[in-house]
Amino acid sequence: IGDGAPAGNYGYANSGYSVYEEENDRLTESLRTKVSAIKSLSIEIGTEVKNQNKMLSEMDNDFDSAGGLLGATMGRLRTLSRGSQTKLLCYMMLFALFVFFVIYWIIKLR
């Protein structure tokens, strides 16, 4: 290494090597910044995916319990319709229709 050459360019004062080295350092730092941003973004995406999977699992459990409840209700309705309580079933259907029309009327007034 030559005497009197600046320490930053490793003795290649007149060759332009230091310009390329500085450009490479700048590009390396830019790349490091971008990689860091992508890494943090992928970590956030992973966290969001875990949260969404947890919510989907909870929803699946809720739907399973609602399906069980609906199945039990349908079983009771079948038992009710098979019995001699047809009159009670008719009243229940009329009541359900009445409730439907009342709700429809309330929504229509808004």
- Going from the C-alpha of 20 to that of each of 25, 30, 66, the distances in angstroms are 9, 15, 68
CB-based contact 58:66 (threshold 8 Å): no
**pLDDT tens profile 13-66:** 556 678 889 999 999 999 999 999 999 999 999 999 999 999 999 999 988 888
Average pLDDT along the chain:
83
Q: Please, what is the angle between helix 17-82 and helix 86-109, to 10°?
A: 140
pTM: 0.47
Comparing 91 with 8, the larger pLDDT belongs to 91
What ranges do the domains of the chain cover? 14-83
